[in-house]
Amino acid sequence: MNEPLVTLREVLGPADAQGYAVGAFTMCNAETADAIMAAAAEDNSPVIVMLGPKEEPVFGLPNTVQIVSTLARNYHIPVCLHLDHSRDPAQVQAALAAGFPSVMIDYSARPDEENIQVTRSIVELARKTGATVEAEIGYVGFPEATTEADNNGSIRSESHLTDPAAAEHFAHVTGVDALAISIGTAHGRSPGLPMLDFDRLAEIHRRVAVPLVLHGATGRDPDQVRQVVQLGIRKVNVATDLARAFADTMAEALEAGEGFFWHAEALVRVKQRWAAVVHRWIETLGSNDRLVDITSRL
């Protein structure tokens, strides 16, 4: 394999054709990337490794490309490295220059016209390097940052949910490769089990040709997740579950060591937990043993 980093199109095209979804896991350092890829390789699953704005300062963009390509080569698996949730066109440009094969530009909190205009310019830019672009229409909010979340942490106000006609128009005029939509999920830890708008998803899938993306799936019942995959979700973002595993492991290590622990020992333990999170999502999304769908085309 010459080029270990692949685009969203290469990963989500087969998923769309075969009716499964691929997990997109947020890395923040080499250890997270390694745990994610080790689990995917073990399950023969395609995988998307993401770096978000919170994680970007940890290593920077060029180092991230180096780390992820090296690990992908070592595991002999193609990996889609994807910049998650960038709200900054200059950062997207820097990621493309650093060698990211895929990016998300998120202007979903802005008026639709502005979202279309900025997304379109990013798609044009990405085409020059052959990279793929995800954008979002409707707004998957952050419960802690809004007063509109209900008691379950779900955001269901009509202004946040994706309008199917608007999504169809958006995908058509921007030329995006994947579209994140809002059907009632929210980022971060949700205390309850919000109801998802399955009818809305089915309608969006009927109208929009590009693969659909679900953000904010943490805490969702696996059966609900399987149902949204059946209805057309092809990429599911996972970040909070990995952060939770880290926080829990460190808290336990601190408690067991009465205020002190060896970070190396704790990191070894947390890598096992991260891998367990990834295995669980791969199973739920049905992407295990699907690696051949991609490698047979490379």
Tokens of 242: 């990995």
Q: Are strands 132-137 and 178-181 parallel, antiparallel or unpaired?
A: parallel
Q: Is 178 helix (H, G, I), strand (E, B) or coil?
A: strand
Q: Which residue lies nearer to Zn ion by CB, 39 or 181?
A: 181
| Closer of 55 and 293 to Zn ion (Cβ) | 55
Q: Give 82 or 215: the residue with its C-beta nearer to Zn ion.
A: 215
How many residues sit in the footprint of Zn ion (CB under 5 A)? 1
Task: Let me know if 84 is a catalytic residue.
Answer: yes
CB of 136 to Zn ion, least distance (A): 8
Q: What would the 3-class secondary structure string for 198-229 be? A: HHHHHHHHHHCCCCEEECCCCCCCHHHHHHHH
| CA atoms of 38 and 279, how far apart (whole Å) | 10
The one catalytic residue among 34, 84, 177, 241: 84
Q: Are 49 and 79 in contact (CB under 8 A)?
A: yes
Q: Quote the least distance from Cβ 163 to Zn ion, whole Å.
A: 19
Least gap, CB of 228 to Zn ion (angstroms): 15
Burial of 228 (0-12, 13-18, 19+ CB in 10 A): buried
Shortest CA distance to 239 belongs to which of 11, 36, 12? Answer: 36
- Residue with the two structure tokens 């390694």: 34
Q: How far is the CB of 212 from Zn ion (least distance, A)?
A: 13
- Helix 240-256 to helix 263-285 angle (10° resolution) is 150
* Nearer of residues 120 and 235 to Zn ion, judged by Cβ: 235
Least Cβ distance, residue 118 to Zn ion (angstroms): 17
Q: Which is nearer to Zn ion, 218 or 249 (CB)?
A: 218
Q: What residues contact residue 172 under an 8 Å CB cut-off, 6+ apart?
A: none
What's the min distance (Å) between Cβ of 192 and Zn ion? 19
Interactions with Zn ion, residue window 24-53 (CB under 5 A)? none
Q: Does 82 bind Zn ion (CB under 5 A)?
A: no
Q: Which is nearer to Zn ion, 4 or 141 (CB)?
A: 141
CB-closest chain residue to Zn ion = 215
- Greatest alpha-carbon pair distance for the chain in Å reads 58
DSSP H helical ranges for the chain: 8-18, 30-42, 56-59, 61-75, 89-98, 112-129, 164-174, 198-207, 222-230, 240-256, 263-285, 291-295
Q: How many beta carbons lie within 10 A of that of residue 130, not counting itself?
A: 10
DSSP category for residue 44:
T
Site for Zn ion in 204-233 (CB under 5 A): 215
Nearest to 107, CA basis, from 174, 164, 26:
174
Catalytic residues: 84
**Residue ranges in contact with Zn ion by CB under 5 A:** 215
